[in-house]
Structure 1
């Protein structure tokens, strides 16, 4: 009975979670289909990475202001408006594609607009979940969110590829819009997000924007772990999932089925990890779990993607390297939710997102340029260093991207293990 009560306490969160998960599936299918479309149109890694840059940069640039406003504004309205504008973006892409006038620059503009709205939606969603879930359930809530994200990652490649094979891109967009209607209606009609008292309604807007940074700098361990992940995100975005599709397509002569299997393996790994973190007892030393998970992911994912040259190795790397990530995410989010007062979470989470994720668009742009203009040409020209790398990653198309994975994976593993041994972060465990 006690276990049933625990789940009943999450009733409102579970309704919100289910609706948002369905919407996420539709959105990710559209992203996946457009990545394939962009690569087949342009044939360059940069065509993929710049799509991602446009999806990240505006939300990061406007994060400070959005976080301050999200603390003041009605969380539900912010989430509804953001979802509505995202749906309008999908409708625009559908219209352009149906009229045979869709171009890559259209997607850049639409991604920028949607990303701008995410700057408001993300802090509002963080606070909404904190308000809907009891504190002792934060780790379970994070596990459930990781579970749905991983399930979406599993289903997306197979479902999107099937639809593209038997129907076309328009069908993907229509499914995305249907999923939006379900999520929007669920949030509008069935979810009541409690109101909270803002700390100081007379506080000047500029001062309010800076409160998140001030809080983090006064809590040095939080500040250090955010800077750590800022560097980790730089490494991960230079390689990681940003150029992984191009790596697989390049080394398999554009075999979308193998790409789909690797992408699904990422989801299976995170699915298994999210189930484990949901049902297991919360870790006593959360920072140890965070850094160890990060090290294992770089070792098993990036380095095996680099050195592997056949689908089974890539699939194993995708599974094993992503299995620890829900443990990382759940424990980091739990630390943030418990260490930050709820009335400040919008501003603090926005500040966290700005510093932690500002390196992602930089890494994405850098990864595409490094692949297209430096490492791919470098691995096609014989030299002593090229020969050494070729013994590890092979030769031919895609070998330059494999070198990028090898370098970022090695650095990420070393930095994570150094942080694991550091005593700076231990106060976050209590």
Structure 2
């Protein structure tokens, strides 16, 4: 609970910075492609570094891995504050800072997931993961509204300063709390083996267990679709709503995520299979994405945001619990890191193509004189943002389709029985 408190404060600070920075970059450049490059810089390095980070996470004290990660993020934030105050900030500075924070996140996220199994017994993993999701949900609820307000009064430099304070608080918590040491037998046995060979331990483990590999690949496919949505959501909403309304819409998502996190903890000890809950809420997320694109309405988009984020804690927690229960603690760092690398490997491609898809293909199709204006445009409307709306409908439908196909694969469907 103490560690989750520190992470909650850190998530709030990061949420403020991420929302404000995304809005600031889009307003400065007015391009979905430019925004997609920023999100790419925030994710691709983590995918690359994760498999190698797993070796160190299994060998080192996981608390210190998290401490060093927070220190790296804090130093990067200080550099951004200095550049903003001196008015020397350039777009490439922001890209570089995003890359640095993404690298330390590649250590911090799997280290925290692996440490959870030593902090709580298996019977409480669902509740522990629900607390983690609840922390993220509070950040999702509070950060957009607060950032939209603060951006006008204390500007980007002030928001980064608050983010820095949140890092310091989380760091103080980690320095205070002691983590139980995990067994490192497997790591010691492989100490003399090459770094590449030890890095591939996580891959070999997943490859030997068809259900776990299928889970990672399915998540990668879904993330590809959601990644395109992630880049496009701000331009779509800002085509018919204000920054304040955008923050309100995302905060509805935060409410849904809080309710979902509470339900994960409540249902954690039920007899329902986690993999079934995982599939149920994957269907719900695909439906929510499709609904968001139908009509430019704040109310409709808020409802879709609520439904999507209601399912997010179930999707993330169920996947995490399955891995935590199936993988031996001494190799969890490598397996979790490689799982993250596979699951999120599709995001960079999604971020790269999202901008051109929106700017060059779908938006022109749905202009008032566009190719689809007289057909599909009669149902979902034409003009600014309607092309992205059509993208959302197609992406949501595809997400439902790959969920239905994946459910037919028996090793994945029966993953908890083996």
Moved more, 378-387 or 169-178: 378-387
Does 1:373 pair with 2:353? no
C-alpha distance in 2 between matches for 1:28 and 1:121: 16
| 1:96 paired residue among 59, 67, 83 | 83
Moved more, 277-286 or 29-38: 277-286
C-alpha distance in 2 between matches for 1:228 and 1:189: 38
Report the Cα offset of residue 82 of structure 1: 1.0
| 1:220 paired residue among 210, 217, 241 | 210
Name the residue aligned to 2:255: 268
Checking the alignment, whether the CA contact within 8 Å between 1:70 and 1:78 is kept in structure 2 is yes
Moved more, 257-266 or 187-196: 187-196
Does 1:136 pair with 2:126? no
Structure 1 pair 191–393 and aligned structure 2 pair: CA distance change class (3 A): farther
Deviations 1:200-223 (A, max 9, x none): 233332211111110101100111
In the superposition, the TM-score normalised over structure 2's length comes to: 0.95
SS at 2:200 equivalent = helix
Checking the alignment, whether the CA contact within 8 Å between 1:75 and 1:193 is kept in structure 2 is no
Checking the alignment, whether the CA contact within 8 Å between 1:32 and 1:157 is kept in structure 2 is yes
Structure 1 pair 108–414 and aligned structure 2 pair: CA distance change class (3 A): same
Moved more, 196-205 or 262-271: 196-205
Checking the alignment, whether the CA contact within 8 Å between 2:22 and 2:35 is kept in structure 1 is yes
Please tell me the root mean square deviation across aligned C-alpha atoms, in Å. 1.5
Does 1:233 pair with 2:220? no
C-alpha distance in 1 between matches for 2:8 and 2:48: 26
Give unpaired runs (5+ residues) of structure 2.
none
Does 1:15 pair with 2:15? no
Describe how 1:326-345 pairs up with structure 2 within 5 A: 326-345=313-332
Name the residue aligned to 2:177: 190
What is the count of residue pairs matched by the alignment? 413
SS at 2:411 equivalent = coil
| 2:231 paired residue among 231, 236, 242 | 242
Describe how 1:6-405 pairs up with structure 2 within 5 A: 14-199=1-186, 200=189, 201-239=191-229, 241-252=230-241, 255-280=242-267, 281-299=269-287, 301-380=288-367, 382=369, 385-405=372-392
Report the Cα offset of residue 384 of structure 1: 5.3
Checking the alignment, whether the CA contact within 8 Å between 1:273 and 1:323 is kept in structure 2 is yes
Give unpaired runs (5+ residues) of structure 1.
1-13
SS at 2:117 equivalent = helix
Structure 1 pair 182–421 and aligned structure 2 pair: CA distance change class (3 A): same
Moved more, 411-420 or 136-145: 411-420
Once superposed, which parts of structure 1, at least 4 consecutive aligned residues long, lie more than 6 Å away?
A: none
Checking the alignment, whether the CA contact within 8 Å between 2:278 and 2:314 is kept in structure 1 is yes
Deviations 1:142-198 (A, max 9, x none): 111111111110000111112123332222111111111111011012233424224
C-alpha distance in 1 between matches for 2:371 and 2:228: 25
Report the Cα offset of residue 249 of structure 1: 0.6
Name the residue aligned to 1:6: none
Checking the alignment, whether the CA contact within 8 Å between 1:76 and 1:193 is kept in structure 2 is no
Report the Cα offset of residue 58 of structure 1: 0.7
Checking the alignment, whether the CA contact within 8 Å between 1:15 and 1:191 is kept in structure 2 is no
SS at 1:62 equivalent = helix
C-alpha distance in 2 between matches for 1:190 and 1:62: 27
C-alpha distance in 1 between matches for 2:376 and 2:338: 40
Structure 1 pair 22–142 and aligned structure 2 pair: CA distance change class (3 A): same
Checking the alignment, whether the CA contact within 8 Å between 1:288 and 1:420 is kept in structure 2 is no
Report the Cα offset of residue 330 of structure 1: 1.4
Report the Cα offset of residue 363 of structure 1: 0.5
C-alpha distance in 1 between matches for 2:171 and 2:23: 28
